């Protein structure tokens, strides 16, 4: 499906705030394929998960090429829209202008950029650094992104993460809409949804909101839909967390039992993996063309 068609379809889907779209995180093409298989609305190409999969902090350490190649790989194996986490955009408005066309070519349907300074620190890290750039500077980055390719630009404000309060978060969100943002992502590290719910109810509603309920998982998707303000809910890091928990359990059991037999009925079969790899298609090529 062409990129512009996907962009328009996702734009329309984000306006259905009574039933927000749900994006699941992935950090490699296999994960993206499983997201599509499960029936989610979109894939979140997660910067946190990519960093974790390389065993480095989520702090602008990996080069843009890693994110770009992950995006391209995910685009090649499934058809859901890709919402790509670009953190602070790899620098200033100049960096954004160079990055966006490359991510569009790699298959991005939407990008998320945040108003922190570069290099960023993870929003949920205890004691993290959360200085924000000026509204004017970030508005320029949004405008640069919008002019650089056919992609939805979701502007993420970290005002609540930085402890600046709802009024500043609303002020920044409204300014980012004026700069051209297609949606506003608002993030919170509070352990209850009260802060986010307060922001959503106060939001004047020029564009749909996006939330990432990692810290307040008790908030049901149905409750979010009742707000009539949120177009997208991102499950921001559940693929990598599920993988780590499963691998730890499996590895420890193998060592404890001195055998691999006990885990066989709890892990994917090799035939399942072959199917996810597209083995049947390769066999067809072999039969048709190998001489």
**To which residue do tokens 């910067």 refer?**
47
Asked if 115 and 205 count as a contact pair (C-beta separation under 8 A), the reply is no
* Distance in angstroms (rounded) separating the CA atoms of residues 103 and 149: 9
Asked if 17 and 211 count as a contact pair (C-beta separation under 8 A), the reply is no
265 is catalytic: no
* Distance in angstroms (rounded) separating the CA atoms of residues 192 and 213: 9
Contacts of 161 (CB under 8 A, 6+ apart): 123, 130, 187, 188, 189
* Distance in angstroms (rounded) separating the CA atoms of residues 118 and 131: 9
**To which residue do tokens 């927000």 refer?**
20
Q: Return the structure tokens found at 161.
A: 């993460």
From the candidates 41, 58, 87, 121, which is the catalytic residue? 58
Q: Which residues are catalytic?
A: 58
């Amino acid at each position: 499906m062409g990129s512009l068609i996907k962009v328009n379809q996702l734009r329309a889907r984000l306006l259905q705030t009574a039933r927000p779209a749900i994006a699941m995180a992935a950090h490699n093409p296999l994960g993206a394929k499983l997201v599509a298989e499960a029936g989610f609305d979109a894939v979140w190409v997660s910067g946190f998960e990519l960093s974790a999969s390389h065993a480095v902090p989520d702090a602008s350490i990996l080069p843009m090429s890693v994110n770009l190649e992950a995006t391209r790989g995910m685009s090649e194996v499934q058809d859901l829209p890709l919402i790509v986490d670009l953190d602070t955009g790899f620098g200033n408005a100049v960096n954004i202008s160079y990055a966006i066309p490359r991510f569009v070519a790699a298959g991005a349907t939407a990008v998320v950029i945040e108003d922190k300074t570069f290099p960023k620190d993870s929003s949920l890290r205890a004691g993290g650094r959360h200085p924000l750039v000026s509204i004017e500077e970030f508005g320029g980055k949004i405008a640069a992104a919008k002019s650089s390719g056919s992609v939805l630009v979701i502007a993420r404000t970290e005002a609540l993460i930085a402890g600046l309060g709802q009024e500043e978060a609303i002020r920044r969100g409204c300014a980012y809409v004026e700069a051209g943002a297609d949606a506003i992502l608002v993030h919170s590290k509070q352990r209850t949804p009260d802060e986010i719910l307060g922001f959503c109810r106060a939001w004047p509603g020029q564009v749909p909101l996006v939330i990432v309920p990692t810290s307040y998982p008790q908030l049901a998707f149905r409750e979010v839909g009742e707000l009539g303000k949120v177009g997208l809910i991102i499950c921001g890091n559940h693929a990598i967390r599920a993988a780590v928990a499963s691998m730890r359990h499996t590895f420890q059991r193998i060592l404890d039992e001195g055998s691999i037999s006990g885990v066989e009925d709890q892990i994917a079969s090799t035939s399942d993996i072959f199917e996810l790899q597209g083995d049947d298609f390769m066999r067809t090529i072999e039969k048709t063309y190998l001489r």
